[in-house]
Chain A
C-alpha cells in the first residue's frame, strides 16, 4: 500500500469534525432495547477504552516518526482516536449508560495496558507499535464496529460511526504504508533487531499485558453475541493486507504479529491455555499495586463543549 503521505496529511486536516457536529438529542435513543442495554453498556465501555489505548499508542509513535509528515499524521491520529473515544462516551451518555460525569471503569487488563503505555510506550521502537496498532485497529475496530452497526439501529450511532470509520480507513492506510516502509532493508539486520527488541524487558511486560487483554476482549464480545469468526476474519484481513507486498512480508514484526494472530484465531491451540490462565490470574492482580490513573486518561470526555 503505497500512499502519498503529504496528500494524506492534507486530507486529514481537511476532514476534521467535532462532537458538536452531531445532534446528540435527535430521536433514536429509544431504539436500544432493554435486553440490549446491559450488554451494549459493557461493549461500548470496552470499545471506548480500546480507542483510548490506541490514541496513546499514536502519541508514542509521533515521538518516533522518521519524518515530519508522519509525525504530524500521528499527532492527528492521536487526537482522532481520542475523538472516537469521546464520541463513544457521548453515545453511552445518550443511552443513559454513564454514571454521572464518571468515565466508565476499565477492566483490569485495560488498566495494566494503560499502565504499561504510560510507563514504557515512549521507549518502544516505531516498528513494534507501527505493527501492533494496525492489528488492533483492524481486528477490534473493524469487527466491533461492524457488529455494533448490525445490532444497533439508533441513527445517531450510525451517523457517528460513519465519521469514525472514515477516520479509521485513513489510519489503516497509513498503518499499512508504514508496515511496508519498515520492511525495507537487509533481512538479517531487521531480524536481528527484532530479536534484540523482543528481549527488551519493557516490551516483555507489554506483551504480558497485551495477550490477556486480547483474550479477555474476545470473551467479552462473544458474551455479547458477536460471532467469534467475524473477529477472526478481521484478524486474517491484517495478514492479507499487510502481507500483500514483499516489503510488508519482510517486516519481522508483521510476521510475528500475524503469526500470533493465527494462534489467537485457532481456538483449539495450546496457546490459549496459558493466556486464558493469565486472564484469570489478572483478576486477582492486587489493585493496590496499580499506579494512579495517568493524567492523559482524565482528558476523556463525553462533552461537546468546554
Chain B
C-alpha cells in the first residue's frame, strides 16, 4: 500500500478511533516518539487503523522532545537516522540537531495524519492482560482505562531521566539541571557551572556551555573513547538532488548504512579493526590535547566499543579553554555550595548540570505489566530482562515491544533496528486480527532457545569484555545489546516463525 493511499484511507477511518472506557481499539501504543509513531504509520499502511497512542507528555518526539540541551544532536548521520519510508531531503547538516529531528517527527505526524490517534497527558501506570477477553487494558494516571487487542510498548529505553544517587544531593542550594530536562530559562552567562558526567550528552553540552559560563568544571568518572564527528552543512544542490531524485538519497543512505555496518567488526568484536579504531582515537586525542597528564586523564582503560563511543570534534578543545577545568577526582559529596571531591576541595558553583544519562531498564519495567495468570513482568525480569527476538515475551500474549531486551545497536542507526522491529510487530498484530485470535503467545521454549544463543554470542563481544557500562546490569548481565550486524538483526526480524507461537 502506498503512503498516499494510507493517508487517504486514514482520514476516512478517523471515526474508528477508540475512546476511553469505550469499545476496545485494535492496538494501543505507549509513547509517541519515533517508535510509537513509526508503528502507527506502518500499521496503517497494513490496513490497521483502530489505533490509540497514549503519550504522557503534551507533545510528540520522546527523546528528541526531552533532550533539548544546548548542542543536542544525533551522533548517527541524519540520512540514516530517519525512517526509510519517510526520507527527508532537507536535512540541514550531516548530523542534525535535536530541534531539526523533532521537526522531522512533527512532520511525520502531520504527513501521515497521526494527530487524531494520540492522547496527550496520558501517563500509563499499568498494563494488564485479560485472557478471557483477549484484551490488554492500560491504566492511565487519573483513573482512566484504555483497552485494545494488542499493545505495543514504545516508551523508549532512554525516556526516564533522574538525578543520580549522589551523597548530599539534596543539600545543594544552587540550581540543578538534568540534561534531559533542560531549563531554557536559566541564564548561564557569568555563572560558575559544574557538569557531572562525560558521556554522550555531556560531550555535546560542554562545548556549548563553555562559551556561556564564566567558569566550567567538568567532573569525569570514566573517560570514553572519542572519535571526531565529521559534521558538515548540507549544500543546497544536494538537497535539490535528493528532492528531485529520491533514489539518490536512498543510495547515500545505503552507503552510510554499510559504512556503519563495517564498524561492527571493530566495535562489537575484538578484531584487528578494534586496535585500529583505538589507534585512531588515541591519535585524535594526541593531536587535540597537548598536556600529557590531561591526555592520561582522558585515555580510557577499556577496549573501544565496550562502552558507547563518543563522536565529537570540539569536546577536547572545549576542555582546554581557559575557563574550563577537567576534574577526575571522585565526587565525595555535594554540599550547600557545590561539589566536594575526594582530594579535599569544595568546588563552589552556581549551577550543576547532571549529564548522567537515563535509567535504562535492564531488569524492570517502566510500570507494572501483568500477563497470563497474574504473572508480573518485573518479577520475571528481576534477574535480567529477556524476550523473543526483542519483541515478544512468553506469558504476555499480544504484547509487543520496540527496543525490548537485546535490540540495542552499538555501531549503526537505532532506527534501522526499529524499522525491522516495527515490521515484525505489524506482522504479529495482523496475524492476531486476521485470524481473529484471542492470544498470540510466544512459546517459552522458543524464547529460552533464542536467549541462550544471544547470551552465548554476547559473551564474545566487547560489551562483555569487563568494563562497567549502562549496557550491563549490576551483576554484569547484558540485556540491552544485540550481538551482531544490523543486517543479521534485520534478517532475523524478517522471519515470523509461526511454529514459535501459540495461537488461541
The listed residue (B291, B329, B347) touching A295 by CB distance below 8 A is B291
Contact B293 A295 (CB under 8 A): yes
Complex Cα distance, B345 from A275, in Å, reads 38
Contact A20 B340 (CB under 8 A): yes
Contact A87 B344 (CB under 8 A): yes
Interface check B332, CB cutoff 8 A: yes
Contact B340 A16 (CB under 8 A): yes
For B330, what are the chain A residues with a Cβ–Cβ distance below 8 Å?
Answer: 75-76, 79
The listed residue (B333, B335, B343, B468) touching A83 by CB distance below 8 A is B343
Interface check A42, CB cutoff 8 A: no
Residues A38-96 near B (CB distance < 8 A): 63, 68, 75-76, 79-80, 82-83, 86-87
Contact A305 B341 (CB under 8 A): no
For A76, what are the chain B residues with a Cβ–Cβ distance below 8 Å?
Answer: 330, 342
The listed residue (A122, A299, A305) touching B343 by CB distance below 8 A is A299
Complex Cα distance, B337 from A87, in Å, reads 21
The proximity string for B residues 318-356 relative to A, scoring 1 for CB distances below 8 Å and 0 otherwise, is 000000000001101101011011111111100000000
B side interface size, CB within 8 A = 23
Complex Cα distance, B329 from A80, in Å, reads 9
The proximity string for A residues 12-25 relative to B, scoring 1 for CB distances below 8 Å and 0 otherwise, is 00001111100000
Complex Cα distance, B340 from A80, in Å, reads 13
Contact B296 A304 (CB under 8 A): no
Complex: chain B residue closest to A65, CB-CB: B301
Interface check B5, CB cutoff 8 A: no
Contact B301 A18 (CB under 8 A): no
Complex: chain B residue closest to A90, CB-CB: B344
Complex: chain A residue closest to B299, CB-CB: A63
Interface check A303, CB cutoff 8 A: yes
Contact A20 B346 (CB under 8 A): yes
For B335, what are the chain A residues with a Cβ–Cβ distance below 8 Å?
Answer: 20
* Minimum C-beta distance from B243 to chain A (A): 52
Contact B347 A83 (CB under 8 A): no
For B342, what are the chain A residues with a Cβ–Cβ distance below 8 Å?
Answer: 16, 76, 79-80, 83
Complex Cα distance, B293 from A296, in Å, reads 6
For A122, what are the chain B residues with a Cβ–Cβ distance below 8 Å?
Answer: 296
Complex: chain A residue closest to B348, CB-CB: A305
Contact B329 A18 (CB under 8 A): no
* Minimum C-beta distance from A180 to chain B (A): 24
For B346, what are the chain A residues with a Cβ–Cβ distance below 8 Å?
Answer: 18-20, 304-306
Interface check A185, CB cutoff 8 A: no
Of the four ranges (under 10, 10 to 19, 20 to 34, 35 or more), the interface on chain A belongs to 20 to 34
* Minimum C-beta distance from A106 to chain B (A): 17
Complex Cα distance, B468 from A306, in Å, reads 31
Contact A18 B340 (CB under 8 A): yes
Contact B332 A63 (CB under 8 A): no
Residues A274-306 near B (CB distance < 8 A): 294-296, 299, 301, 303-306
Complex: chain A residue closest to B341, CB-CB: A79
Contact B340 A294 (CB under 8 A): no
Complex Cα distance, B301 from A280, in Å, reads 40
The proximity string for B residues 287-311 relative to A, scoring 1 for CB distances below 8 Å and 0 otherwise, is 0000111101000010000000000
Known A63-B301, A79-B329, A295-B291: A86·B345 in contact at CB below 8 Å: yes
Complex Cα distance, B21 from A196, in Å, reads 78
Contact A83 B344 (CB under 8 A): yes
Residue among B329, B341, B344, B347 facing the most chain A CB atoms (10 A cut-off): B344
For A87, what are the chain B residues with a Cβ–Cβ distance below 8 Å?
Answer: 344
Complex Cα distance, B375 from A10, in Å, reads 36
Complex: chain B residue closest to A297, CB-CB: B293
* Minimum C-beta distance from B341 to chain A (A): 7
The listed residue (A68, A75, A295, A305) touching B345 by CB distance below 8 A is A305
For B341, what are the chain A residues with a Cβ–Cβ distance below 8 Å?
Answer: 79
Complex: chain B residue closest to A22, CB-CB: B344
Complex Cα distance, B343 from A19, in Å, reads 9
Complex Cα distance, B329 from A83, in Å, reads 10
For A295, what are the chain B residues with a Cβ–Cβ distance below 8 Å?
Answer: 291-294
The listed residue (A16, A299, A306) touching B332 by CB distance below 8 A is A16
Contact A304 B345 (CB under 8 A): yes
Complex: chain A residue closest to B192, CB-CB: A306
Complex: chain A residue closest to B343, CB-CB: A82
Contact B348 A19 (CB under 8 A): no
* Minimum C-beta distance from B308 to chain A (A): 18
Complex Cα distance, B345 from A20, in Å, reads 7
Complex: chain B residue closest to A14, CB-CB: B167
Complex: chain B residue closest to A305, CB-CB: B346
Complex Cα distance, B345 from A273, in Å, reads 43
Complex Cα distance, B147 from A21, in Å, reads 58
Complex: chain A residue closest to B342, CB-CB: A79
Complex Cα distance, B343 from A80, in Å, reads 6
Contact B344 A86 (CB under 8 A): yes
* Minimum C-beta distance from A253 to chain B (A): 23
Contact A19 B345 (CB under 8 A): yes
Complex Cα distance, B68 from A194, in Å, reads 56
Known A63-B301, A75-B330: A18·B296 in contact at CB below 8 Å: no
Contact B345 A301 (CB under 8 A): yes
Known A63-B301, A79-B329, A79-B330: A19·B293 in contact at CB below 8 Å: no
Contact A17 B344 (CB under 8 A): yes
Complex Cα distance, B346 from A122, in Å, reads 29
Complex: chain B residue closest to A119, CB-CB: B292
Residue among B330, B333, B343, B348 facing the most chain A CB atoms (10 A cut-off): B343
For B294, what are the chain A residues with a Cβ–Cβ distance below 8 Å?
Answer: 295
Complex: chain B residue closest to A64, CB-CB: B301
> Which A residues lie at the B interface, using CB under 8 A?
16-20, 63, 68, 75-76, 79-80, 82-83, 86-87, 118, 122, 294-296, 299, 301, 303-306
Q: 17 other contacts beyond A19-B344, A304-B345, with CB at 8 A cut-off?
A: A16-B342, A18-B344, A18-B345, A18-B346, A19-B346, A68-B468, A80-B342, A82-B343, A83-B344, A294-B293, A296-B293, A304-B344, A304-B346, A305-B348, A306-B346, A306-B347, A306-B348
- What are 25 A-B residue pairs whose CB atoms fall within 8 Å in the complex? A16-B332, A16-B340, A17-B332, A18-B340, A18-B345, A63-B301, A76-B330, A79-B329, A79-B343, A80-B342, A80-B343, A86-B343, A86-B345, A118-B292, A294-B293, A295-B291, A295-B292, A295-B293, A295-B294, A296-B293, A299-B343, A304-B344, A305-B337, A305-B346, A306-B347
Q: Which 3 A-B pairs have the closest CB atoms?
A: A79-B342, A16-B332, A83-B344
